Amino acid sequence: MKLPADLKVSFEKTTLDDPEEAAALRDAQLYAKSTVVGIAEQNPKAKAPRYYSVPGSQAEEYAQYRIGVYAQEGLTMVGERRHSRAEVRPAGGKSDGYVVTFCSDESKVAGKHVASGDEFPSDPGPMNLWYWTLDMVPSPKIDGLWLTKKAIVKGRASAECG
């Protein structure tokens, strides 16, 4: 996944002992990054979010919706979206997958009009804090790949992320 030079997505390092939990976290983070790639590409049907989502799932629909909002308005992002406070827990039994949560901070992100290149900054504070809850399941086709089945992204998440 390639981002434009003026856009960065970063993740705080999280060390997990269980290799399956680590893989689920890695692919949850890649799902989050893939939404930014789709926004940069201005393509709600971008390949990256579809690769990291269960086909036809709520997570795939969420990524398409989020990207589509930007694309419809002719907007993209510049700056850095930072992620932190990652946690992984079983979703029930191990066969049920994992729930991955983390925070994202968009206070160092600006909006950018694609047509004109004009940028408009965002303000620091709760408006730019997001709390992600991603249900991760193993891919039935690719060994070691975890797919996002459900994505709940809560905005103004100062209680969880502040």
pLDDT tens digit sequence for 110-125: 999 999 999 998 877 7
What does the pLDDT read at residue 122? 81
E strand map for 17-141: 75-90, 98-105, 109-113, 119-121, 129-138
- Going by the DSSP 8-state scheme, the letter that residue 115 receives in this structure is T
Query: Residue 93 — very low, low, confident or very high, per pLDDT cuts 50/70/90?
Result: low
What does the pLDDT read at residue 110? 95
Overall average pLDDT of the 74-100 stretch: 92
What does the pLDDT read at residue 92? 83
- Going by the DSSP 8-state scheme, the letter that residue 147 receives in this structure is E
Rounded CA gap, 105 and 20, in Å? 26
Its pTM stands at 0.95
